[in-house]
Amino acid sequence: MTYSASSYGKAFAAAAFEQEGSKFDAVVERFLALVKKNGDWSRRKEIIAACEAEVRSRKGKKLLVVESARELSPEHKRSITKVFDAGEYDVAYRIDPSLIGGIRLTRDGAEQMDASLQTIIQTIFNRS
């Protein structure tokens, strides 16, 4: 039987929050076995993302994805952490060479601040 990624995420978070240490590892193993048994292994990335989102939500945190054309320096990462309260956000850094330069920030998959060179160039050419 196929379940939505959101349903998997809610079930995983409920089970995981009740466990600690080695018991948590057992929860993860049983959860992955269930996903395989249900024939949803091909959707594991989507399911894992839903599990992460649900766990983050239960902890009262948001996800901040920072995309850049190249690896950011530790100094730049510290600056971002100062601006976005580390207690409120889980920060994920991703490299996207298509950005050319600059950064793109996405909060909880919805709100976006795009200061990439790619966007600036596209804006200039679209005005012409």
Is pLDDT of 73 > 90? yes
In 3-97, which ranges are continuous DSSP H helix?
5-16, 21-37, 44-59, 74-83
Q: Inter-axis angle of helices 5-16 and 21-37, to 10 degrees?
A: 160
Do 24 and 73 sit in the same domain of this protein? Answer: no
Quote the pLDDT of residue 37.
Answer: 95
Residue 39 belongs to domain spanning: 5-59
For the chain, what is the domain count?
A: 2
Quote the pLDDT of residue 128.
Answer: 63
Do 66 and 121 sit in the same domain of this protein? Answer: yes
In three-state secondary structure terms, 125 is helix
Is pLDDT of 7 > 90? yes
Compute the average pLDDT of residues 39-48.
96
Do 71 and 34 sit in the same domain of this protein? Answer: no
CA distance 111 to 123: 19
Do 69 and 104 sit in the same domain of this protein? Answer: yes
CA R_g for the chain: 18
> Tokens for 6?
């959101």
Do 123 and 109 sit in the same domain of this protein? Answer: yes
Do 74 and 40 sit in the same domain of this protein? Answer: no
Do 18 and 44 sit in the same domain of this protein? Answer: yes
Residue with tokens 């966007």: 119
Do 67 and 115 sit in the same domain of this protein? Answer: yes
